[in-house]
Structure 1
């Protein structure tokens, strides 16, 4: 079946021709109406209505020299941690009438590069992103082309790029110390790939806490690499149960709360008591952590503040500042400690 031809979108030149004025006059009516007489404004507005003309926002931004869109690239938009960060960005950008485009890299550098290219083609003023690798050369090149760049949820390794992060080494050490304080002397870390800085830092924090307690990490720590989602947690829990030898309670520290959710779901399905047989600690303290059947002990990150501050750095566009927040351990039933009051 033949489709009717699509109607060409009216341009500002079409409006000018119909109204019998210059393109500059139409532009003034759209952007500086006080410069145009009432009669001319009415004629131009009538032409706009007749042609159903919609101003091209990107073109207008280029004319007035002010692009008001920011981009954000996170690892996984299904993770509530990142949606909370994006909300923080949105709240700050709205104060200056900026809009936000959000994408998920799914931990893939090639996907991240594609979104960076698309964002730049759309004329974003700046990009905040959680890098999926240690390679910052593409980000430096983007910065040199005039696009503001803020590293999100990780400190910047170079002075040219701004960053907003949480001290993940300290956060993971808090979690490990808490489990050690419950009497555990051997920890299982369900971690993502250590090519992701947050995963490397959380591993380093656990190692530091074990060493501080006089334990040999080579003997006291078992690390299992999983995907950073609930399915990864389920896989890790199944491996844990398969290897378990009945030597007493087990302590599991999960790299994020989605992984912890998968662990708790699997342990419940298998009839394993939490925390009596397996103690579980997560990371992020997402909104559902306190509402689970067994409320989850977790390391809280200031997600909204992370996003708000990253957006603030983009809007202000000043020096390449580095902001580091401190995490907080929130103790609930899943780890066997006293619930937080």
Structure 2
């Protein structure tokens, strides 16, 4: 049996006092943000968070799950910080929330949506004794997740994972879907294919890029250094795409196919190419990912990957209930199957003269 990782071991590793480590892990003040980050990173590397009863206090775990009680019902906290386009009104994130809402209602549970980004404010909201557990949706800072973990809140993350926080996660099979989509483009004669999407934005984007890269490598096609994997901050993406595409057109180096990390990026790409007088799919095929509601309304209708968004939310609630009932089970990374949909924005490059 491996030995328990202690705060003193973390302190010795970093050359700081046990008091500093305790402060950093407790979420209290008294240490700088940089020191807190170093302590958390080291604790994670040493396996401190993964061991039982070392850091978190479990609440109401191992007991039969009371779905509802007389005069009251338990609630699931849904944490979805309002960052970038990650809102309940989003055609992507909003559908995941719909799935969570439908499943909690079916189980007789309440749902409380929290869009807080500030850790201190989140602590005032967070009451582990008043909630059954938490579903985190989309990109969430490590500091917020750490506070939920610290007080013992059972949680499941949707479309996100954090290397510091051991927890169940639910994703679509991003890698496999993008691999299949890219393989289709290769099979239809596209050799010059580029990826567009900020791989720093989410784990899903990174996995989609990995699937794209693997499909190329399997065919012996080198990964070019002109893939657009950095789009900047919110609001800058379309302008970065416009500059990239204009530069490519001037140099006569436009690829025959552009694989976008999601449908919103693909929509921007089609609009930019149209402004530049480039025909889609006559000159360049464009694909998206997610199959948002507008995907088939785009002109031309967008080839994409259908992500079962409501099912992601539903499955997260199911996993949360399973985790509460059986806290000792191994953590799971659940992958739901996506479906590649071919529409009018892609064309067979072998048919071109």
TM-score past 0.5 threshold: yes
Partner in structure 2 of residue 212 of structure 1: 218
> Are the aligned partners of 1:71 and 1:119 in contact in 2 as well (CA < 8 Å)?
no
Alpha-carbon separation, structure 1, partners of 2:149 and 2:69: 19
Partner of 1:270: 276
256-265 or 172-181: which moved more? 172-181
| Distance apart, 1:132 and its partner CA | 3.0
Using the alignment, how far apart are the partners of 2:269 and 2:163 within structure 1? Answer: 33
- 1:251-294 per-residue CA deviation (whole Å, 9 max, x = no partner) reads 11111111111112222233321011221110101111112221
Q: Which structure's CA Rg is the greater one?
A: 1
Shift of 1:72: 3.2
2:342 is aligned with 1:331: yes
State the shift of 1:326 in Å.
2.0
**Structure 1 position 71, deviation (Å):** 1.4
Q: Which moved more, 1:277-286 or 1:120-129?
A: 120-129
C-alpha change, 1:85 and 1:131, in structure 2 (3 Å) is: closer
Q: Mapping of 1:157-172 within 5 angstroms?
A: 160-172=166-178
2:159–2:203 CA contact under 8 A, matched in 1: no
Once residues 290 and 337 of structure 1 are traced to their aligned partners in structure 2, the CA distance between those partners, rounded to angstroms, is: 19
Question: What does residue 239 of structure 1 align with?
Answer: 244
* CA deviation profile, 1:174-212 (whole Å, cap 9, x unmatched): 222122223222222111243631222111111101001
Correspondence list, 1:125-274, <5 A = 125-130=132-137, 132=139, 135=142, 139=145, 141-154=147-160, 160-194=166-200, 196-218=202-224, 222-226=227-231, 232-233=237-238, 235-244=240-249, 245-247=251-253, 250-274=256-280
Q: CA RMSD in A?
A: 3.3
Q: Is the 8 A contact 1:234 1:265 kept in 2?
A: no
What is the aligned partner in structure 2 of residue 93 from structure 1? 104
Displacement after TM superposition at 1:118 (Å): 5.2
The structure with the largest helix share of the pair is 1
Taking the aligned partners of 1:169 and 1:250, their CA distance within structure 2 comes to 22
Structure 2 spans left out of the alignment, 5+ residues: 1-67
SS in 1 for 2:258: strand
2:94 alignment partner, one of 83, 93, 106: 83
Change (3 A) 1:231 1:156: closer
Alpha-carbon distance between aligned partners in 1 of 2:320 and 2:332, rounded to the nearest angstrom: 11
Aligned to 2:325: 318
Structure 1 residues 126 and 67, CA gap change in structure 2 (3 angstroms) = same
Task: Find the aligned partners of 1:310 and 1:174 in 2 and give their Cα distance.
Answer: 25
Residue-pair matches, total: 271
Listed one character per residue, the Cα deviations across residues 39-72 of structure 1 (whole Å, up to 9, x for unaligned) are xxxxxxxxxxxxxxxxxxxxxx999895324213
Aligned twin of 1:39: none
TM-score normalised to the size of structure 1? 0.68
TM-score, normalization by structure 2: 0.66
